[in-house]
């Protein structure tokens, strides 16, 4: 029974074609010695049966993977009578590279140019005759999923069995062609004569499997020793010539629609990645996003969730009163849950709006440009450009931000990126900013929020520079980043991304924040008999113990101190605690009003700087420990940001006081 | 073509398939394929710009995967040696 092998790139529709050819007559096993799946089936055509073998999907027939070795071994040793090369018509450039290697093998080939319907949809025009003439093999257009062209393909494949194999018309350049001819001579009369063309090329490519195979051929061994120094050059040159051949074939046979978006992308990039304009444009875009966040999130949507939480609080309060619930339970539900967790939840509209706009920015492809324009600044500071990418990730959350530093191979670059990431203002800190902005800077919300983010970046860059000059000296390595074409953002993507973030925020409010609030509520009512949330409670005593540290920064109250302490568990807990201890169960407007009573604009700025820069949350500290495998660095990331935040907030408060603010 | 792409990537620090394609007079698909080949041959190494897609954060509010992760390449030692060799030749 004649054998027909199917070979092609992954996702070229090879398996669909195999199913179309064999129907139910197939069985699945494994290739000997490897875990690669082997699929075989029977095809009946003109009263004859053919064995169809589906080879593993592969981009090349080198020795880089098991799949490649299995596929090429079968073509060499399995003696298929004809090979059907399945080529994806929508991505011919990639697929024809494999075809060139089949031509080098001298095997009989028929090309199934598959997915022709998709190629038509993409307005790709393919001249089949020209393509066939240049490759020297028959080509049949197919749509395997719709069984189109299958009968013609079978007919052509069966006819090819009795024809001569194609001639490889690729020229590898004068030097290599001469070398190939020399090696071919050495293979004459040997057991490998049948595949002398292919073996000559593979030997020059430095294919270890093939070189091992020809070890008994002394003449060839000597030849290889003589050209050993050129091996790397030869490998690259052979691959290069294959691509040049593919490119030439494509130029003559394929027409694609003009990609006008490319020009638009280029034009936009000339401005947004400009050496001088790039960073100001990035700053303006971020500023506009923060402004829009306030206009839409606060002014338009802000009252909705707050109204719900207020109504819920009134309902719960009336219900608990009606059922004569014990004071402790009422206190826990109203002051603990509604006041604490509710104080975090009321900021959802703003968070939703911010991530909606950041999602748009990301989906258009602009974020890659932002990282690129910042690359110059990073390099000037002795930092790796990739550091800024981990910083952008840190804007969402510092935990993945720290993890993103894994892409930095150089230990020096990685450690710096990791240690400065907690200065990036994560989403969990937003509720804190929003409470204080609403209390003191309502008309300048956008600029305050923008300034906090900018300050975080600035402190990170300064610390990065200091680290690169002290703790981690050395050269930064080079990286390359793709600038994808701009595209219109997909609303589905943006909304899904926004919802994912809001949902995570809600989940967190219901778990970690709830746990922290419960613990703090317990601490606030003990020892029994004291006024809840008073200075005499355990919570009050902890706060009173810490408070003197923050006195020079202007917020040395036990309430502010204990909120910062709770913020190490999770940053949102700062607002939850303020809601519990200041507003006594009130959230939103009640909390804002309470904050206005105990803070001044200056102490508010000082407190905001502290919350932006001080010790990262427990999850980030644990991630630093996990990533560095060192308690020393975990301790360092706990202490040094605290010192930076503390010193800066003291400076701001003291200088502000001197200036009369 | 492979050497030209490697050199272009190394010198620019950033790339768009469209620009490289235009400079070398080849299609974007071809640029993508050549970059993939350089990665297969270990002249380039590909990183995930944002590993948040692979490693979920366990304790954070906003830990989801990036919508449009950035593609980042690094020139390997083998790649740098080739570039230097070409420089010396010229």
Q: What is the mean pLDDT of chain A?
A: 85
- For residues A549 and A561, the answer to whether their CB atoms sit within 8 Å is yes
Highest mean pLDDT among A260-264, A351-355, B46-50: A351-355
Mean local confidence (pLDDT), A94-101: 92
Q: Which residue has the higher pLDDT, A42 or A338?
A: A42
> With contacts defined as CB-CB under 8 Å, which chain A residues touch B32?
93-94
**C-alpha distance from B63 to closest chain A C-alpha (Å):** 6
Contact A482 B67 (CB under 8 A): no
> With contacts defined as CB-CB under 8 Å, which chain A residues touch B57?
397, 399-400, 403, 619, 623
Do residue A53 and residue A123 come from a single domain? yes
> B70 falls in which pLDDT band (50, 70, 90)?
low
Q: Give the pairing type, strands A82-88 and A109-114.
A: parallel
- Beta-bridge mates of residue A2: A50
| Facing B61 at nearest CB: one of A367, A397, A493 | A397
Look at chain A and report how many structural domains it folds into: 3
Describe the strand order of the beta sheet including A26-30 as a list of residue ranges.
A26-30, A37-45, A48-54, A2-8, A82-88, A109-114, A139-141
Contact B63 A399 (CB under 8 A): yes
Highest mean pLDDT among A95-104, A214-223, A318-327, A568-577: A95-104
> With contacts defined as CB-CB under 8 Å, which chain B residues touch A501?
61-62, 64
User: What is the rounded end-to-end Cα distance, in angstroms, of chain B?
Assistant: 16
> With contacts defined as CB-CB under 8 Å, which chain A residues touch B68?
362-363, 365, 367-368, 484
Residue A488 lies in a domain: no
> With contacts defined as CB-CB under 8 Å, which chain A residues touch B20?
none
> With contacts defined as CB-CB under 8 Å, which chain A residues touch B9?
480
Examine the pLDDT at A420 and tell me if it is beyond 90.
Answer: yes
- Beta-bridge mates of residue B15: A482
Interface probe for A, chosen from B70, B77, B85 (most Cβ of A below 10 Å), is B70
Interface probe for B, chosen from A270, A481, A484, A499 (most Cβ of B below 10 Å), is A481
Mean local confidence (pLDDT), A528-536: 80
Do residue A452 and residue A549 come from a single domain? yes
Residue A633 lies in a domain: yes
Closest by alpha carbon to A406, among A628, A630, A633, A641? A628
Residue A357 lies in a domain: yes
User: Which residue in chain A is spatially nearest to B48 when comparing CA positions?
Assistant: A407
Contact B51 A265 (CB under 8 A): no
Residues in Cβ contact with B7 at an 8 Å cutoff, skipping those fewer than 6 apart:
B83, B86
Highest mean pLDDT among A315-329, A466-480, A584-598: A315-329
> A587 falls in which pLDDT band (50, 70, 90)?
low
Mean local confidence (pLDDT), A61-87: 88
Contact A407 B72 (CB under 8 A): yes
Count of CB pairs separated by less than 8 Å, A with B: 205
Query: d(Cα B6, Cα A244) in Å, to the nearest integer?
Result: 16
pLDDT at A640: 96
Examine the pLDDT at A270 and tell me if it is beyond 90.
Answer: no
pLDDT at B56: 44
Contact B13 A385 (CB under 8 A): yes
> With contacts defined as CB-CB under 8 Å, which chain B residues touch A481?
13-15, 49, 70-73
Mean local confidence (pLDDT), A653-661: 92
pLDDT at B25: 83
Residue A210 lies in a domain: yes
Mean local confidence (pLDDT), A183-196: 79
Examine the pLDDT at B61 and tell me if it is beyond 50.
Answer: no
**C-alpha distance from A237 to closest chain B C-alpha (Å):** 9
pLDDT in tens, A251-260: 888 888 765 5
Contact A367 B68 (CB under 8 A): yes
Residue A167 lies in a domain: no
Q: Give the pairing type, strands B44-48 and B14-15.
A: unpaired
> With contacts defined as CB-CB under 8 Å, which chain B residues touch A483?
14-16
Do residue A250 and residue A132 come from a single domain? no
3-state secondary structure of B72: strand
Do residue A287 and residue A239 come from a single domain? no
What is the residue-wise DSSP string for A597-643? HH--HHHHHHHHHHHHHS---HHHHHHHHHHHT-HHHHHHHHHHHHH
- Percent of chain A beyond pLDDT 70? 92
> For residue A263, what are the CA distances in angstroms to A152, A271, A369, A419, B18?
41, 13, 16, 40, 9
> With contacts defined as CB-CB under 8 Å, which chain A residues touch B74?
409, 477-480
Highest mean pLDDT among A245-254, A534-543, A634-643: A634-643
Mean local confidence (pLDDT), A291-301: 76
Q: Give the pairing type, strands B71-75 and A480-482.
A: antiparallel
> For residue A216, what are the CA distances in angstroms to A211, A219, A226, A227, A375?
10, 9, 17, 18, 54
> For residue B13, what are the CA distances in angstroms to A233, A489, B8?
24, 26, 9
Query: d(Cα A488, Cα A574) in Å, to the nearest integer?
Result: 38
Query: d(Cα A73, Cα A58) in Å, to the nearest integer?
Result: 13
- Percent of chain A beyond pLDDT 90? 29
**C-alpha distance from B66 to closest chain A C-alpha (Å):** 8
> A183 falls in which pLDDT band (50, 70, 90)?
confident
> For residue A79, what are the CA distances in angstroms to A41, A161, A194?
17, 12, 11
Mean local confidence (pLDDT), A268-272: 88
> A634 falls in which pLDDT band (50, 70, 90)?
very high
Do residue A111 and residue A203 come from a single domain? no
Contact B66 A362 (CB under 8 A): yes
Closest by alpha carbon to A354, among A289, A305, A302, A447? A289
| Range list of β-strands (E), A268-317 | none
Contact B13 A262 (CB under 8 A): no
Do residue A134 and residue A191 come from a single domain? no
Interface probe for B, chosen from A267, A395, A482, A619 (most Cβ of B below 10 Å), is A482
pLDDT at A199: 87
**C-alpha distance from B2 to closest chain A C-alpha (Å):** 6
> With contacts defined as CB-CB under 8 Å, which chain A residues touch B1?
240, 243-244, 247
pLDDT in tens, A212-229: 877 776 667 777 776 666
Do residue A191 and residue A329 come from a single domain? no
Three-state secondary structure along A566-588? HCCCCCCHHHHHHHHHCCCCCCC
* Residue whose pair of structure tokens reads 């710096």 in the numeric block: A416
> pTM of this prediction?
0.66
Do residue A540 and residue A409 come from a single domain? yes
Do residue A518 and residue A624 come from a single domain? yes
Closest by alpha carbon to A573, among A485, A512, A646? A512
pLDDT in tens, A342-391: 777 877 887 888 888 888 888 888 887 887 888 778 877 777 767 877 78
Contact A243 B28 (CB under 8 A): no
Examine the pLDDT at A92 and tell me if it is beyond 50.
Answer: yes
Residue A556 lies in a domain: yes
Q: What is the CATH number of domain B2-89?
A: 1.10.10
Query: d(Cα A162, Cα A164) in Å, to the nearest integer?
Result: 7
> For residue B69, what are the CA distances in angstroms to A201, A418, A539?
39, 19, 44
Query: d(Cα A457, Cα A283) in Å, to the nearest integer?
Result: 12
pLDDT at B58: 39
> A633 falls in which pLDDT band (50, 70, 90)?
very high
pLDDT in tens, A134-150: 999 999 999 988 889 99
pLDDT in tens, A509-519: 788 778 888 88
**C-alpha distance from A400 to closest chain B C-alpha (Å):** 6
Residue A268 lies in a domain: no
ipTM of the complex: 0.82
Residue A210 belongs to domain with CATH number: 1.10.287.1770
**C-alpha distance from B90 to closest chain A C-alpha (Å):** 15
pLDDT at B1: 86
> A96 falls in which pLDDT band (50, 70, 90)?
very high
> A558 falls in which pLDDT band (50, 70, 90)?
very high
Do residue A205 and residue A293 come from a single domain? no
Contact A240 B52 (CB under 8 A): no
What is the span of the domain harbouring residue A562? 278-471+497-658
| Facing A483 at nearest CB: one of B16, B58, B74 | B16
Closest by alpha carbon to A105, among A202, A218, A1, A33? A202
Do residue A234 and residue A318 come from a single domain? no
> B51 falls in which pLDDT band (50, 70, 90)?
very low
Interface probe for B, chosen from A59, A400, A511, A618 (most Cβ of B below 10 Å), is A400
Contact B64 A500 (CB under 8 A): yes
Residue A148 belongs to domain with CATH number: 3.40.50.300
- For residues A612 and A455, the answer to whether their CB atoms sit within 8 Å is yes
> With contacts defined as CB-CB under 8 Å, which chain A residues touch B29?
91-94
Contact B61 A409 (CB under 8 A): no
3-state secondary structure of A31: coil
Examine the pLDDT at A624 and tell me if it is beyond 80.
Answer: yes
> For residue A478, what are the CA distances in angstroms to A358, A421, A627, B70?
28, 20, 22, 16
pLDDT at B64: 46
Residue A479 lies in a domain: no
Do residue A154 and residue A188 come from a single domain? no
């Amino acid at each position: 029974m004649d054998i027909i092998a199917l070979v092609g790139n992954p996702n070229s529709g090879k398996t669909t074609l195999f199913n179309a050819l064999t129907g139910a007559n197939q069985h699945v096993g494994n290739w000997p010695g490897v875990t690669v799946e082997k699929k075989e089936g029977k095809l009946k055509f003109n009263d004859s049966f053919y064995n169809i073998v589906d080879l593993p999907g592969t981009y090349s027939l080198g020795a880089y993977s098991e799949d490649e070795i299995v596929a090429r071994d079968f073509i060499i040793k399995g003696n298929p009578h004809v090979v059907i090369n399945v080529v994806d018509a929508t991505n011919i450039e990639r697929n024809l590279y494999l075809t060139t290697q089949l031509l080098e093998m001298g095997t009989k080939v028929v090309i199934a140019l598959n997915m022709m319907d998709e190629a038509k949809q993409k307005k790709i025009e393919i001249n089949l005759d020209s393509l066939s003439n240049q490759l020297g093999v028959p080509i049949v257009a197919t749509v395997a999923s719709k069984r189109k062209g299958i009968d013609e393909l079978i007919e052509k494949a069966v006819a090819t069995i009795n024809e001569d194999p194609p001639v490889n018309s690729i020229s590898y350049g004068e030097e290599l062609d001469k070398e190939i001819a020399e090696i071919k001579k050495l293979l004459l009369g040997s057991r490998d004569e049948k595949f002398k063309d292919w073996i000559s090329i593979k030997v020059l490519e430095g294919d270890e499997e093939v070189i091992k195979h020809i070890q008994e051929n002394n003449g060839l061994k000597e030849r290889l020793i003589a050209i050993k120094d050129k091996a790397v050059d030869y490998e690259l040159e052979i691959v290069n010539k294959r691509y040049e051949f593919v490119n030439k074939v494509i130029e003559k046979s394929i027409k694609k629609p003009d990609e006008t978006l490319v020009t638009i992308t280029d034009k936009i990039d000339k401005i947004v990645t400009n050496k001088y304009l790039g960073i100001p444009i990035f700053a303006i875009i971020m500023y506009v996003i923060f402004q829009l966040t306030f206009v839409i999130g606060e002014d338009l949507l802000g009252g909705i969730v707050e109204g719900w939480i207020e109504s819920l609080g009134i309902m719960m309060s009336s219900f608990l009163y009606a059922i004569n619930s014990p004071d402790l339970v009422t206190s826990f539900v109203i002051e603990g849950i509604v006041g604490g967790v509710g104080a975090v939840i009321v900021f959802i509209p703003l968070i939703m709006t911010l991530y909606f706009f950041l999602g748009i920015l990301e989906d258009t492809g602009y974020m890659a440009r932002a990282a690129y324009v910042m690359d110059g600044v990073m390099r000037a500071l002795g930092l790796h450009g990739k550091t800024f990418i981990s910083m952008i990730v840190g804007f969402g959350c510092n935990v993945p931000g720290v993890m993103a530093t894994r892409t930095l191979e150089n230990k020096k670059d990685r450690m710096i990126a990791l240690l400065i990431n907690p200065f990036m203002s994560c989403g969990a800190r937003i509720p804190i900013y929003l409470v204080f902005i609403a209390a003191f800077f309502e008309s300048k919300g956008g600029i305050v929020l923008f300034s906090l983010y900018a300050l975080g970046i600035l402190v990170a860059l300064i610390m990065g520079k200091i680290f690169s000059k002290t703790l981690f000296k050395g050269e930064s390595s080079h990286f390359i980043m793709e600038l994808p074409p701009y595209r219109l953002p997909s609303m589905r993507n943006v909304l899904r991304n926004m919802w994912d973030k809001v949902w995570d925020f809600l989940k967190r409010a219901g778990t970690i924040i709830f746990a922290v609030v419960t613990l703090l509520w317990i601490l606030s009512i003990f020892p029994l008999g004291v006024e809840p949330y008073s200075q005499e409670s355990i919570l009050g005593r902890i706060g009173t113990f810490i408070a003197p540290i923050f006195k020079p920064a202007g917020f040395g109250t036990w309430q502010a101190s204990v909120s910062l302490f709770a913020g190490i568990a999770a940053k949102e807990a700062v607002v939850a605690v303020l809601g519990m201890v200041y507003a006594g169960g009130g959230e939103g407007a009640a909390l804002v009003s309470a904050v206005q009573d105990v803070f001044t604009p200056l102490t508010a700025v000082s407190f905001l700087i502290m919350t932006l820069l001080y010790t990262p949350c427990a999850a980030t500290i644990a991630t630093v420990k996990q990533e560095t495998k060192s308690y020393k660095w975990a301790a360092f990331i706990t202490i040094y940001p605290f010192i930076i935040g503390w010193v800066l907030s003291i400076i701001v408060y003291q200088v502000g006081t001197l200036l009369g603010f | 073509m492979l050497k030209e792409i490697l050199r272009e990537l190394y010198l620019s620090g950033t790339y768009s398939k469209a620009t490289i394609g235009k400079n070398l007079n080849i299609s974007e698909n071809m640029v993508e394929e050549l970059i993939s080949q350089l990665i297969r041959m270990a002249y380039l190494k590909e990183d995930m710009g944002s590993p948040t897609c692979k490693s979920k954060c366990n304790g954070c509010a906003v830990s989801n995967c990036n919508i449009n992760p950035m593609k980042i390449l690094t020139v390997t030692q083998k790649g740098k040696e080739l570039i230097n060799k070409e420089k010396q030749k010229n």
